[in-house]
Structures are given as structure tokens and as C-alpha cells.
A and B are shown apart, each in its own frame.
Chain A
């Protein structure tokens, strides 16, 4: 074979230039790639657009365009003689907004509720902002100072000039926040104890913890609340019988402690064995090992899940509805049945307002949890 023999598989001249793809960038390319890449995708896109066109405009019309913004009573929110469609009846919400926030809390004492909200927001912010200074102090404030101060502030202490306010008068947002806050503040320590109990080597401690956790997780919250509201008064002498709100708080705490225990347990399980062994090798006692080595790490990686179960608890606070407590949702239920505002759109307006409130609260909490989770997993490489 001489050098003259051409090698068949080597090109001797450049390939003919191909035409560039019709479009690889720009809005049309984006549309093609993301919405119409295959016939099936095109059909999906069209169906989705039809669903959007069917759903979104009526909702916007109801909430904004056709909505009634001013008025004194139901007359404003009834369809006029011209037969115009009426949307949301916002004057109803505006008139009742203080009821939704404070319930029947005495008018002159409502500054106490405002102060409670501020104290609570301050504590929650301190704990949730991870770069905040002196977070240990923040935890002490949130879990010890705040509950005591709030109790004195809200239910009153005549000795310091705060008139007593019966819990039957509490309502609306106040009760929702109180129930959720008490649930978290009490269930976290209880949950930690239960989680440690469940991982304990002592069989009887373990048995009681598992039995409690599985029992509570196996039944609906509503039965726990029923139990608290009808059985708690039977358990104690009549003189000590707790009021309705207290019973519901006990029920909610018991319920969320069991779920919190499982969340904390997952955090404990994520701590490498070496941490326990190193602590023991240093001669730390069980209590010190947990307090100084294990729990700080476990709780740190558990914060997103704790926030997530706070979201669940926050949604579950609506169930105190069933044991005669006027939480936020219940105040809306009561207000919407008021003949003064009885129109075909009152219910939908009330529910739209409640939905907005719950969605903003829950969604912002879950966004926070998700961001935190990403950050923690980025730092820890877990």
C-alpha cells in the first residue's frame, strides 16, 4: 500500500455547512421546547390553558372586579335591580375585622392583645433568624418568659392593675395564635423527652414512650380534643375543673407532642454514632451528653421539620372549633351567619378571607423551612 491510497474514512474537505436549527433561543424556541415539544405536550398545554381560562378570570372577577368595597349592611352586597353579578362583599369583612382578631375581648383591654402579638412576634423572630445575637437568651425568652408574661397579660392579674378577662371572651386570631403557640412551646420539650424515651435502653421507659406516641398518632385530633373536653373534667375534682380553652390546650399539646417526638427522633437518628461515643469517651453523663453534644446538633438540623410541623399544627388549630372555642375560623363561621350580612356571597367572602389569612401564614412558614433546609444541607453536606 502506497501513501497515495486515500484513507476512506478521513474527510478531505470540510463538511457542507448545515442550516442552523429554526430557532434555538428566543421566546419562540422557549415555547417550542417547554410547551409544544411533542404533540402530547401540545395537547396538555392547550388543556392547561383552557383550565386556567375557566378558573382564573371568575376568581379575579369575584375577588376584585365585581367585589363590593363600601357599604353599611347586606343591602350593599345584594344584586342590584340591574341584575349585575355581585362579587365578594368586603365591607362585611371590614366591619367584622376586629371581631376576627380579638373575638369578644373587652374593647378597653385590647391593647393587651396587641402587646401580646408584638411580644410573640419578637420572640419568634429572634428564634427563627439564625444570625440573631444571643439566641440562647432568645430561647429562654420564648419558652419561659413569654408564656408567663402572656398568661399574666392576657388573662389578667388584678394585683398589678390588669383586670381579669375570662377565656370565654377570647376569640379570633388571638385564640388561633395562643393555641398554636402553646402547642409549640409545650410540645417541643415534651417531644424531646418522648423522643429520648423512645430511644432509651430502658425497656419500660421505651415502652411508655412508644405506647404514648403510637396511641396519639393513631387517633384523629378531634377525638383527642373530645377526650380533653369531656373527660378532663371527670379526671379532676370539680373545684379544679379547667375551663374550655385550657382543656383544648391540653388536647392540642398532647397531640402535637407525639408528632414532635417523631420529628425530634428523626433528628436524633441523623446524628452520627461517633458523636455519642466521643461524648461518652470524654466521660460525660447521659444528661450532659444530650444537652451539650447531641441535642444542639439534632435540633439544629430539625428546625425545618419543626417549622413544618408548626404549619400542620397551625392548620390543626382550626379543630378547636369542635369544642366550643372561637378561633379565627369559628369567628368567621359565626359572623357569616349574621342576618345583618346575609347575602348569597357572604359565605364565599368569609372563606376567601380566611383562606388568604391561612395561606399567607402557612406558605411563608413553609418557604422559610425550605430555604433553611437548603442552607443547612449546603453547609453540612448531609
Chain B
């Protein structure tokens, strides 16, 4: 035994388990040490600069205005905490509209890239190459400063179909008015949720039943609400005055520029995802479907798209997350999103950088983590259906 201990591999410091524990202990000590040092210096610096710490500012009156508020907010009565929610809701609004727009445009362009029409395929390739190779910030500045700001002023507003106006003060759209609007909006959201539930959850039912039931689930709640409420909503059109526009919905030019920029930028990436997904389905699948006698439409719907979707959905979700994160570039053009309101204005007023940056990052982190959890569930379910 004594001779054995002399062999190098028997020495305790050559044992891989011991080494691994030592390495990890060193890592922990380093990380904790650095964190402690940073925390101490930060506390000293904050004390020296007389910056308060903690989250007390959350309930302090904000005292600044926000140009777009989805919930009630006033400079004199609302708190910094309220401003946070206003900013978060504005971010989510841009994200939702951007995601819908980028999906529609991206799928169209992705499919067009594979078209057997030479011109259409080339045009969509050019679009994707151009948009992907320009920084988003440049595109946003372009939309805002070179397009929206150079539109005619109110008197010479561009007239849009259905009674809308577009000018350098923003986009003015007809608005539904009446007491039923709130109920109707909720009913529509319920309908969308119902349709998604029918499509995603009800796996036992055959494909056709689900496809037939989804529109019913989508339309039933709004239609029912419309009749039950018994008060059809009216539409209020914006009216062009000499110096301003009355009525309707006013959409900020910043919002228009931001959503346009995000939709255009993200759609190019979505198009690439869609193209990759469609080309990932082996040619043999289409040929097999044809030899079974399926028509081209049926082959696409039943054979190609379901297989392509498996490839498309994970990177597509990634693009949705990117869009949400990219919406923070709103700062550049002054759209009041979370970063602009909270990490911009509130930070400047309170000076509590640490807390505010941590909260802002936390919000995006929660969104990301929730999405990737959903993605993992989706992957797990796909893996299961494959085994069956």
C-alpha cells in the first residue's frame, strides 16, 4: 500500500473529484468576494453622494407628464410606481402590435422568397438583405426624423381610407365610442383566447373539427356581447380643424415610427425563419403526399406546414423576444416605453440607479424566462408526439 500512494494518480490532489470540489470552491470564493467588494464600495459611494437607497421612491409623487398613458396617470397625483406601470404597458402595447405585424409581414415575405415567380422571389430577397443589414436604430431614426417628421402639417393632412388622417403630429383614426366598447374589447380578447385554446389544447379532436370550431370560438364572445349588451357601438370619426384634430384616436408619431421600424426590421428575420422552416421539410414529403393523391393545397396544409411549424416556432419565439427587447430603442425617438419612462426620466429624477436598473432588467428577464419556459413545454410536448 505504501508503494501505491507514490503513484501520481493516487495522490489526493490528482483525484478528479477533489479537484472539481477545489475548483468550484475557488470559484464561489471569488464570486462572493467580488460581489462583497462591489457591494461595499457601492454603499460607500452612495453614502458619499447622499443618494437614498431602497424602494421608498416607488410611492413618491412623480411630477412629470407622460405623452401616452393606457391607464390613468397624472403628473401631480400619480407616483413613480404608477409611471413604471404606464411605461410597462406602453412597452407591451408596442410588443403585441409589433409581433402581430412582423408575423404577418414576415410570413408573406418568407413564402414569397420561395415563390417560383422570379421577380417576387428576387424582390423579397432584396428586402430581407437590405433590412437585415441596417442597424435598427438607424431605421427608427429614419422613420421618425426623415419620414414622419417631414409629413405635411395638420391643414394638409393625408387622408387615409375609412376616415383617418396622417400628418406630422401623428396618426388619427376613427374610434369606437359608446358604453359597450369596454365589454366588447374584453369579449374579443376572450374570443382570441378561446380560439387559441381550441387550436392548441383540444388535441383529441380531429384536425378538421378544431379548424371549424376555432372561428366559432373566436367570434362567439364578441357577437354575444354585442347582442346581449343591446347597445351597438358607434364610430367617432376624427374631424379636421384648422389647428387640431378633434375626436377619434390619436396615435403618437413616435408610436407609429417605433412600430413601423420594429415590424419592418423583425419581419426580415421572421421571413428567414419561415424560409428555413419550409425548406427544412424534405422534398420526399411533398412527393409522397402527391403520390397519395393529395392536391397541392392539401399537401401544404396537412403535410408541409405541420412539419415546418416544428422547425419555425422556437426561432420565431426568439424573434418575438428580440422585438420586445428591441422596443427599448424607443428612447431614441422619445416614445414613453419602460426604458424611456423608468430607466430614463425616473432615474434622472431620483438618481437611484441601482434599484431602477435592476427593476428594469428584471422586467425583461421575467418576460424572457416565461417565454423560454413556455418554449420548453412546447418542445417537451413535441418530443412526446414524436414518440407516439
Contact = CB atoms under 8 A, between A and B. Distances in A.
Partners in one complex: yes
A347 B145 contact: yes
A321 to B, nearest CB: 7
Closest 3 CB pairs of A and B: A218-B368, A34-B118, A362-B133
A10 interface: no
A56 to B, nearest CB: 11
Contacts of A37: 116-117
A242 to B, nearest CB: 13
Given A238-B45, A347-B145, A358-B134, A201 B20 contact: yes
A316 interface: yes
A106 to B, nearest CB: 28
Nearest to B142: A351
A250 B382 CA distance: 40
Contacts of B343: 223, 226
A359 B134 CA distance: 6
A227 B120 contact: no
Interface string A219-241: 11111001100110111111000
A358 B133 contact: yes
Given A204-B27, A234-B45, A358-B138, A219 B118 contact: no
A315 B134 CA distance: 7
Interface stretch (B99-107, B214-222, B235-243, B328-336): B328-336
A202 B118 CA distance: 54
A354 interface: yes
A44 B328 contact: no
Interface string B139-163: 0011001100110000000000000
Contacts of B42: 231, 234-235
A333 B115 CA distance: 39
A236 B332 CA distance: 29
A202 B41 contact: no
Contact of B135 (A48, A233, A315): A315
- Main secondary structure, interface of A, reads helix
Interface in B14-46: 20, 23-24, 27-28, 31, 38, 41-42, 44-46
A208 B30 CA distance: 12
Interface of A: 34-35, 37, 41, 44-45, 48-49, 51-52, 201-205, 208, 214-215, 217-223, 226-227, 230-231, 233-238, 311, 315-316, 318-319, 321-322, 329, 333, 336, 344, 347-348, 351, 354-355, 358-359, 362-363, 366
Given A204-B27, A219-B361, A219-B364, A329 B119 contact: no
A231 B347 CA distance: 12
B123 interface: yes
Interface in B70-104: none
Given A222-B331, A223-B343, A226-B343, A329 B364 contact: no
Nearest to A206: B24
Contact of A234 (B23, B41, B138, B145): B41
Nearest to B322: A220
Given A41-B117, A227-B357, A347-B146, A52 B41 contact: no
Interface in B319-339: 325-326, 328-329, 331-332, 339
Nearest to A49: B119
A348 B129 CA distance: 21
Q: Which has the most chain B C-beta neighbours within 10 Å: A51, A226, A316?
A: A226
Contacts of B367: 218
Contacts of A318: 135, 137-138
Nearest to B325: A220
Nearest to B131: A359
A327 B331 CA distance: 17
A88 to B, nearest CB: 11
Interface string B328-364: 1101100000010001000100000110010011001
B374 interface: no
Interface of B: 20, 23-24, 27-28, 31, 38, 41-42, 44-46, 48, 115-120, 123, 129-130, 132-138, 141-142, 145-146, 149-150, 325-326, 328-329, 331-332, 339, 343, 347, 353-354, 357, 360-361, 364-365, 367-369
B357 A311 contact: no
A301 B28 CA distance: 33
A359 B139 CA distance: 12
Nearest to B318: A217
Given A45-B119, A204-B27, A230-B357, A348 B146 contact: yes
Given A204-B27, A358-B134, A222 B116 contact: no
Contact of B38 (A34, A44, A235): A235
A319 B329 CA distance: 8
Contacts of A222: 328-329, 331, 339
A327 to B, nearest CB: 10
A231 B119 CA distance: 52
Given A202-B20, A347-B146, A223 B361 contact: yes
Given A34-B117, A230-B353, A319 B45 contact: no
A362 B353 CA distance: 34
Nearest to A52: B123
Contacts of B24: 202-205
B145 A48 contact: no
B38 A48 contact: no
25 contacts: A34-B118, A35-B117, A35-B118, A41-B115, A44-B120, A49-B119, A204-B27, A208-B27, A219-B361, A219-B364, A219-B368, A220-B339, A223-B328, A223-B343, A226-B360, A227-B357, A233-B45, A234-B45, A235-B38, A235-B42, A315-B134, A329-B137, A344-B150, A347-B150, A359-B134
